[in-house]
Amino acid sequence: MWFRQRFNNVISGVVGGLVMPLLGFLIFFLLTHHGLSMTDYFRKMEVAGNISEIMSVSVFTNVVIYLLFNRLDMLRACRGVLGITLAWAFVVFAINLF
């Protein structure tokens, strides 16, 4: 019960919404790097034009934390996750546009 009261705020949702895509990218990198360093991996993805796709897959992990907060009835934290997810969506859209 104290967990819900303490972490049911927008800041917790924002922090969770920022951390989960980083973890998602780390998992994606570990599954697909094929022996490349992180720097070489970024260069390869930039040349291939896959940056926005990787960002989209990474941000998809926000669904997990959003559903967890929703299940625990932590609606303020859900708001923070949703806000960060929309911000990421605008960034991905801007990358695709330019």
Mean pLDDT by 10 residues, the chain (98 residues): 86 96 93 92 91 89 94 95 95 89
The H or E element spanning position 62 is helix 62-71
pLDDT at 96: 87
- Count of domains for the chain: 1
The H or E element spanning position 79 is helix 75-97
**Parent domain of 78:** 2-97
pTM: 0.85
